[in-house]
Amino acid sequence: MLIGNGMIFPNERRLFYMMKKNNNEKYGPNGIVNEKEFILFTEQWISLQTYAITGTSLPINEVEMRKHIGLSQNTKSPQCFKNLYDIHYQNKHLCTWWNNDLVPLILKTIHNISAYGFKCAGKGTTTGYYKALQADLETISLNSNSLTQEKAFKDFKKRCQLLHKEALQYKTTAENAEKWLNIFFEGGKDSNDNDVIGVAAIQTHFKKINAHLDNKYQNSNSKYKGLLSNMNQLKQGLVNNITGKQNFSNKKVKKMIIEMIDKINTQGENILKSKPQIMLIFQKISESWSIIRNYMSNLANASVNKLQKESDKIYLELKNSTNSWLEIATQTRNFALNLYNLKTP
C-alpha cells in the first residue's frame, strides 16, 4: 500500500509480533508482547492516517466545494449539497485534532516502550539497568564488606525505584491514549475540551446524506443510475447517454460529490472495524505497565535479607528478561520511525 511519500510497507510489519515468552521472563515486557499476535498493523495505521488526510481536506463551504471538484463558476452548484458542509466541518475538526494531538500521543506511547526497553537492556556501549542490577545483587550476596553491601543495596533500590516511576508515567500516557482514541471513535470532549462527535456519528450522518442523495438523484433517472453504479459506464455514458452541456455538468457534479461521500464512508467503515483491535493494544500496554510497575516496586521494597536469599533467582530472571526488552525496544523504535514517515502526507 502506498501512502504519503510513496513508501511501501510489507504486510508482516506490525507494532508487535508473536513472541513466545519464557516463564523465567518475570521482569520482561509482560503483556506488551504475548503468545498471540499483538495487533497494530501498519495497514491499520495507514487507514487512520488516510481517513485523517481526507477529513482535513473536505470542503466546508461552496467556495471550497467548487475548488475541490473543479467546478467552474459557469456551472450551477446543486443546492441540496449544502447540508454536507456541517458534517464536513465536524469531520475536519475531528481529523485536525487527530493530527495535532492524538498522533503525538500515540507516538509517545510507542516511544516509551522503546525507551524503557533500551534502559533495561542497554543500547550500544551504554550498560542497561538490568545488568547493573545483577551486579548489585552479586555484591549484596557475595561481598563481605558491609559498607560495599550497603552501597550496592542503595543503588539497587534506587534503580528499581526509577524503573517503577517511569513505568507509572508510561502507564498514564497509555491510559490517555486509550481514552482519547475512544473519544475519537465515539465522540465527547477532546483533549482541548472541545466537543467532537466521533467517527461513528460522522458515519451515521454520511449514510443519511448518501441515502438522501441516492434517492433524489440515482433513482430518479435510469441513465444517471447506471452512471453512478459503474465508472466505465460513466466514461461512455458522458458521450452517448447525456445530452446538453448544462445537463452534463450538473449530473457530473452530483456524481463527483456522491463519490466523495462514498470514499469517506468506506474509509470510516474500515477504521471502525479496526477499533476493537486498536483499542485492545493500548489497553494491553496500560495493563503491562501496571504489572511491570508492581514488580519493580516489590524489588525496590525488598529487604537485604530477602535479596540475599533470592539473589540467584532474581539474577536469572533479570538476565532472561534482558533480550526480550532489547528485541521489543528495537521493534517499537523502528515502528515509531515508520510512523514519523507516515505522519505528514
pTM of the model: 0.75
- In CATH, what number is assigned to the domain containing residue 40? 1.20.1170
Please check the confidence at residue 141 and state whether its pLDDT lies above 60: yes
Among the listed residues 172, 188, 177, 193, the one whose alpha carbon sits nearest the alpha carbon of residue 48 = 177
| pLDDT class of 24 with cuts at 50, 70, 90 | very low
The better pLDDT of the pair 239, 27 is held by 27
Considering the domain boundaries, does residue 134 fall inside one? yes
Q: Give the separation between CA 153 and CA 147, rounded to whole angstroms.
A: 10
Q: Give the separation between CA 182 and CA 94, rounded to whole angstroms.
A: 12
Considering the domain boundaries, does residue 282 fall inside one? yes
Q: Give the separation between CA 342 and CA 345, rounded to whole angstroms.
A: 7
If one counts every other C-beta atom within 10 angstroms of the C-beta of residue 36, the result is 7
Considering the domain boundaries, does residue 271 fall inside one? yes
Q: Please give the sequence-ordered ranges of beta strands (E in DSSP) within the chain, or none if there are none.
A: 2-3, 7-8, 122-123, 126-127, 188-189, 195-196
* Winning range, highest mean pLDDT, from 70-74, 141-145, 231-235, 237-241: 141-145
Considering the domain boundaries, does residue 136 fall inside one? yes
C-alpha cell at 169: 508515567
Domain extent for 145: 2-191+267-343
Please check the confidence at residue 177 and state whether its pLDDT lies above 80: yes
The better pLDDT of the pair 95, 215 is held by 95
Give the three-state DSSP class for 306.
Answer: helix
Q: Give the separation between CA 157 and CA 317, rounded to whole angstroms.
A: 17
CB 102 within 8 A of CB 209: no
Report the share of the chain in percent with pLDDT over 90: 36
C-alpha cell at 214: 441516492
- The domain tally of the chain equals 1
CB 157 within 8 A of CB 300: yes
Q: Which amino acid is at 304?
A: V
Considering the domain boundaries, does residue 259 fall inside one? no
Q: Give the separation between CA 77 and CA 62, rounded to whole angstroms.
A: 8
Please check the confidence at residue 37 and state whether its pLDDT lies above 70: no
The better pLDDT of the pair 57, 343 is held by 57
Q: What is the mean pLDDT of the chain?
A: 76
If one counts every other C-beta atom within 10 angstroms of the C-beta of residue 8, the result is 8
Q: What is the pLDDT of residue 55?
A: 82
Please check the confidence at residue 238 and state whether its pLDDT lies above 80: no
Considering the domain boundaries, does residue 253 fall inside one? no
CB 101 within 8 A of CB 272: no
| pLDDT class of 260 with cuts at 50, 70, 90 | low
Continuous segment of H or E residues that includes residue 291: helix 245-300
